[in-house]
Amino acid sequence: MTILDVFTDNVRAMQPYHVQSSAGMIKLDAMEMPHKLPEEMSQALGKFLSMSNLHRYPNPTSSSLVSKIKSVFHLPEDLSIIMGNGSDELIQIILMAVAKTGAKVMSPVPSFVMYQQTAKLLDMEFVGIDLEKDLSLDEDKFLSAIEKYQPAVIFLAYPNNPTGLLLDKLFIEKVLQKASGLVVLDEAYAAYASQNTVSLLEKFENAVLIRTFSKIGLAGIRLGYLVSNPLICEQLEKVRMPYNVNRLTKAAARFMLDQMRYIEDSVKRVLAEKEVMFNWFSEQDGMTVRPSEANFLLVKVADADQVFQRLRDEHKILVKNLHKTHPVLDNTLRITIGTEVENHKLRQALSQIISA
């Protein structure tokens, strides 16, 4: 007997979520927006935050923020919204609410790791359906697996992290039809994608949308939101901790939702830079890049471990090395689009590494 016996087998077997140390580095590893808020906006935000009643608990219903989110992101009025401390927490809320003995969670793999991690923590069985070599999903295989496993929750990242690809919307409709449980459409990269799945929310009772402020310049405030019909949200609300999102976060979100022109401009700058980077990668010998509907690119190189390490150690540039995380990601790096200057430095560093 040791004190460690008190912990569940799953917790003991788990690896902690590893965040690479990034002090002094160019950070192209976590899909953050590379631009800092302009000084003037930052000052105004500070003033706005200073008016928060920090001696009071946050308002649990967040109704003014909810209305603002609905109007800014053109979400149907009759749907309900739940706020989370990042969409990570929303994933946890969804899974806690359905974690019956034997309940299964399904998603394509590779996809966002928190689906699997959180399912396992809750002693749920995770069924991962492997993507094909070309990173596409075998739709028939996925639909048969739904029939076979009857998952309580299916996660579909739209677009997917780490592939950057969108599933076919007709396929998503088939999934929604076939599934007897919830189908969570994770649109963390909605701002960068050419399409979204909002229209499916009113059409299918089991559709749940989750989004985040993290990829549009506000990763530091930790705010996500979930959209679904009132029937489903009423159940999920019971699982949410009453004060899960703090006053400063909600105030910052309210402030920034009045600055959508700025956010949209930042997104456009990132998209323009993505095109520059995509074209550059396409022209390089020894590197293959894939089209992406998000703010990152997947790049295959000859030796990902070596390129990753040299970028980090010699050039102080941090990217995500996906080598050995899944067979379809062999020698693949996931590179978040940075500022013009950062991307230029990355190109120079890569030219040097590849030519040597």
Ligand X SMILES: *Cc1c(COP(=O)(O)O)cnc(C)c1O
- Which residues of the chain form contacts with ligand X (CB under 6 A)? 31, 86-88, 112, 157, 161, 186, 188, 212, 214, 224
Q: How far is CA 78 from CA 66, 138, 227, 231, 282, in A?
A: 12, 34, 10, 11, 45
Nearer to ligand X, 31 or 252 (CB): 31
Question: For ligand X, which is the closer residue by CB, 185 or 353?
Answer: 185
Asked if 233 and 226 count as a contact pair (C-beta separation under 8 A), the reply is yes
Nearest distance, CB of residue 56 and ligand X, angstroms: 25
Rg of the chain in Å (alpha carbons): 21
Shortest Å distance, C-beta 2 to ligand X: 33
Q: Provide the minimum distance between the beta carbon of 108 and ligand X in the complex, in angstroms, as a whole number.
A: 12
Query: Nearest residue by C-beta to ligand X?
Result: 86
Q: Give the nearer residue to ligand X in terms of CB position, either 92 or 331.
A: 92
Smallest separation, CB 144 to ligand X (Å): 24
Measured from the CB atom, is 225 or 281 closer to ligand X? 225
- By C-beta, is 44 or 233 nearer to ligand X? 233
Q: Which is nearer to ligand X, 214 or 350 (CB)?
A: 214
Angle between helices 260-283 and 340-355 (to 10 degrees): 20
Closer of 191 and 349 to ligand X (Cβ) = 191
Minimum gap (Å) between residue 85 Cβ and ligand X: 8
Beta-bridge partners for 210: 186, 226
Looking at the Cβ atoms of 116 and 212, the one nearer to ligand X is 212
Q: Are 121 and 10 in contact (CB under 8 A)?
A: yes
The distance of closest approach from Cβ of residue 233 to ligand X in the complex, given in angstroms and rounded to an integer, is 18
Taking the alpha carbons of 204, 205, 207, 213 in that order, is the dihedral positive or negative? positive
Q: Least separation, in Å, of the C-beta of 218 and ligand X?
A: 9
* Pairwise CA distance, residues 53 & 356, whole Å: 58
Nearest CB to ligand X, comparing residues 118 and 310: 118
Q: Tokens 């739709």 identify what position?
A: 139
Q: Report in angstroms how near the CB of residue 212 gets to ligand X at its nearest.
A: 3
Closest approach, Cβ 186 to ligand X, in A, equals 5
